[in-house]
Structure 1
Amino acid sequence: MKKRHLLLGILIMFSCMVTLTSCNRKNVDISSDTILNDKPNEKVEIDEKIEIDKNVEKIVESGYEGLEKLLDEESSNRKFQGVVLVADGDEIVFAKAYGYADTEDKRKNKLTTRFAIASNTKQFTATAIMQLVEQNKISLDETIDKYFPDYKYGNKITIKNLLQMRSGIPDYLNELDLFMKDKATINLLKEYESNVYYDKYVEDYRWSSEMILKNLYLTELIFEPNEEYDYCNTNYYLLGLIIEEVTGMSFGNYLNEYIFKPSGMDSSSIIPLDSDAKGHGSDESGEIVANPQFTYAAGAIYSNIFDMFNWSRALYKGDIITRESYEKMTTPVDDYGYGLFIKDNIISHSGYIDGFTSNTEYDITKDRIIIVLENINPETDDLDAKYHTNLIREYLDESE
């Protein structure tokens, strides 16, 4: 979620109206209308073509034994830790988990283990916006002063600018010196200056939308809206707030009702759980669980590979938004659409946050999905979910 120079290998990840008493997993009270209960013995039906036992240890279809050997060696030699899924259309042809969800209690990763997907959240936020556009509740060309009347640049920035990363707003995650201007916020950050791992501030329970907006209203644009592309988490934070204002629902509840349920994502939420994989960061960082009110609509979702597979198929097939909306989402400007990167017939997004990396990829021409979720900070520039996605794709292409 955050760029590597700021968060030890972290690139890309936010007020949530779901009430949290603490950002510690053990202190979170989750109501039944916020997340669906996980049922380990339940069968998962995917597009009514195949049925998968959620307790299955792995899936290796004929012809994919070589891929298993490659990833087994990667896990053994390079400490790859996470879960991988490859699908050919509606059929999952490979899925396997590696390493530990929690090294302390030796709890192994499983195919059903949830991971922080960080900035992969953005495609869900963008889809929610497109749903509201289809209902004529939002216009892509309307300016955001309608929602943030106290923001002096609100009459220059459109919702489309936010979606396409072309607003000119500084990034509240990666450009702290440009964005964090409010005295209370600066004082909060100063409390972490003496911490051996400064970025522990992402856990702080005091983060709120009010605090983020106070800082937004004090910032200057870094370029005029629509003049250029600049990846910026603030854009998607604001989109989440717009979704809440238009619908009268919390961001988390909207996702659950109109994104997760219709997509068959029965395990996903924006609330971290004890059963999730734990991010294995540095010795200095320890385990970090970012406050969902800080990560929010730019990177707060926790999900597993089955849910992400169901999501990819539902989005592509028009089960969530219309084909017209999908085409708008996947029409790139500077290789970025709405919450998705598009290049060379591949639609993708990656995510980075303390202890986690994720990457999702859909090859349009081959109708092939690759999903990689990892719970370890990259020890090198190569050891992350994006690297492993590339490794898998190259192997599959050479094997054809």
Structure 2
Amino acid sequence: MNNKILILVTLALVFSCKENDKPQKAETQSINNYAVEIDSFLTNLAKDQVFMGSVSLSKNGEVVYSNAIGYSDLEGEIKANKNTKYRIASITKVFTAVLIFKAIEDGKIQLDQTIDSFFPTLLDGYKITIAHLLHHQSGIMSYTKDQYFWDNRTQNQSTKDLMNVISSLDRNFEPGENTEYSNSNYFLLAQLLELIYDDRYENLLEKNIIKPLGLQDTYVGKTTHSDHNESFSYTSENGEWKLFPETHLSIAKGSGSLLSTPSDLNIFFRSLMNGQLISSASIEKMTTIIRNHGMGIFRYHIHDQSGYGHGGNIDGFTANSIYFMDLDVALTISSNASSMPIEEVYSEILKAYLGKQEVTISEEEVAQFVGVYISENDPEDQCVFIQDNNVLVNFIKNEFKAPLVYWGNNRFVLEQLYAESISFTFSDDGNQLIFDQGDYRGVYKKE
């Protein structure tokens, strides 16, 4: 459908039971339907053994719901709780980006400054700017795709070792010509911070972010210790959770090395987006989206709401943390074991909080919207819809099937976390379609 639709960009990033705690709610908020609905949803996930992890949701800076299900340590039979720390993988990159913008505001570096003076042995360093690293536009391949990473990920790695690996990697494109997510970019940014401040990355985090915000459970991880309320991670094998051998986080500095809790992450993202860490001018640069990427942050669209945040995966851990400014709502999910996409868990919890209810539609009603719709402005631009019982499916390029959610009044929506949701609104006779995505609106006629 030309380049209007940005479909389901999967951030499967290397650095991306029984109810244990009663839901924690703000004192001013009584028991409500969304809490009951979320409780039921999570309890069912636990019973089906498809998800373990923690959830925290805040409104106006106050926690209105939190819960934890499953175990942080299966062998030790230690249940997760609201203070359990999880590896947050690529959400670390947002912290690194904030430190870079603080360094810019301190006059230490400039956004358009090339990195050759910091990394003289790095290929094309004279072409690569700090902005390129932040925006994943350097062209440097991610070292997590190199065999060295997989051969050595469980062992302690020195900065020198990783710099040698990154310096040897191929370039995927000329700096600035394209965008491709790469953990190499954020390892380099962390190393750059240590060089300009002559201090350790973890000390810079503590001084500039963790201490000012009062984050009690956020820090650079080392070997997991359950007696510190740190979680192990697991994968599903034959219907049972099996311990996942953990990555040594020295190999993930700046790109995926942090531990945190969902409640701490909600505080962090709300504080960031409300100007408590960096200036409004820096936030504007950080949230400028080019080819789906901001500078260390992503824009999300779900259930007709937009927000900024990040997600990430490492070992058996997955996490998503998003702040929705218009609602002043932050929602974070951290999981140490999941056999279903965390995006689905996230979507269901947010939908329950927003009180959005899908509308039932019959197979006969869906049938009238099946067919090919052609843009009035471009005959090559087509929308194709097929039917799966009482579900309308957007069939994209004859290969990708995207089931649509029906919200009533002939409106079907393709929900996407990492791109603008797409709304398809049909005329009553099914002969015309209004296509809405972000600022784009198009009229399509049935073939």
- TM-score of the alignment, normalized to the shorter chain, above 0.5: yes
2:64 to 86, 93, 98: 93
Helix, strand or coil at the partner of 1:360: strand
Unaligned runs of 5+ in 2: 1-10, 358-447
Aligned to 1:59: 24
Cα distance in 2 between the residues matched to 1:118 and 1:304: 12
Question: What is the CA-CA distance between 1:74 and the residue it aligns to?
Answer: 2.2
* CA deviation vs aligned residue, 1:57-106 (integer Å, no higher than 9, x gap): 53145322222222222222243210001111212111001000100111
Cα distance in 2 between the residues matched to 1:354 and 1:244: 26
Question: What is the CA-CA distance between 1:209 and the residue it aligns to?
Answer: 1.4
Cα distance in 1 between the residues matched to 2:168 and 2:50: 44
Aligned to 1:168: 139
Unaligned runs of 5+ in 1: 1-8, 14-54, 181-188, 190-198
Question: What is the CA-CA distance between 1:10 and the residue it aligns to?
Answer: 5.5
Say if 2:243 is the partner of 1:292.
no
Does the 8 Å contact 2:143/2:169 carry over to 1?
no
Higher helix share: 1
Question: What is the CA-CA distance between 1:396 and the residue it aligns to?
Answer: 2.7
Say if 2:198 is the partner of 1:248.
yes
Does the 8 Å contact 1:57/1:111 carry over to 2?
no
Cα distance in 1 between the residues matched to 2:169 and 2:74: 42
Tell me the number of residue pairs that the alignment of Structure 1 and Structure 2 aligns. Answer: 326
Aligned to 2:232: 278
Aligned to 2:332: 371
Higher strand share: 2
* CA deviation vs aligned residue, 1:133-186 (integer Å, no higher than 9, x gap): 001101010001021012230000000000001110011002x16xx5xxxxxx
* CA deviation vs aligned residue, 1:271-290 (integer Å, no higher than 9, x gap): 23412011113569734232
Q: With structure 1 as the length reference, what TM-score do the two structures score? A: 0.77
Aligned to 2:153: 202
**1:346–1:121: structure 2 CA closer, same or farther, 3 Å change rule?**
same
Structure with more relative contact order (C-alpha pairs < 8 Å, separation 6 or more):
1
What does 1:17-28 align with in structure 2 at a 5 Å threshold? none
2:316 to 341, 355, 360: 355
Question: What is the CA-CA distance between 1:325 and the residue it aligns to?
Answer: 1.0
What does 1:303-322 align with in structure 2 at a 5 Å threshold? 303-322=260-279
* CA deviation vs aligned residue, 1:195-228 (integer Å, no higher than 9, x gap): xxxx4731112x2211121122223311011111
**1:122–1:168: structure 2 CA closer, same or farther, 3 Å change rule?**
same
Does the 8 Å contact 2:137/2:180 carry over to 1?
yes
Helix, strand or coil at the partner of 2:235: coil
The one-letter amino acid of 1:11's match is L
Helix, strand or coil at the partner of 1:302: strand
Aligned to 2:283: 326
* CA deviation vs aligned residue, 1:241-286 (integer Å, no higher than 9, x gap): 0000011111111111111111111221112341201111356973
Helix, strand or coil at the partner of 2:284: helix
The one-letter amino acid of 2:153's match is V
Aligned to 2:386: none
Does the 8 Å contact 2:21/2:68 carry over to 1?
no
Does the 8 Å contact 1:264/1:311 carry over to 2?
no
The one-letter amino acid of 2:23's match is K
User: Bigger radius of gyration, 1 or 2?
Assistant: 2
**1:65–1:286: structure 2 CA closer, same or farther, 3 Å change rule?**
closer
Helix, strand or coil at the partner of 2:196: helix
Cα distance in 2 between the residues matched to 1:75 and 1:161: 42
Question: What is the CA-CA distance between 1:362 and the residue it aligns to?
Answer: 1.4
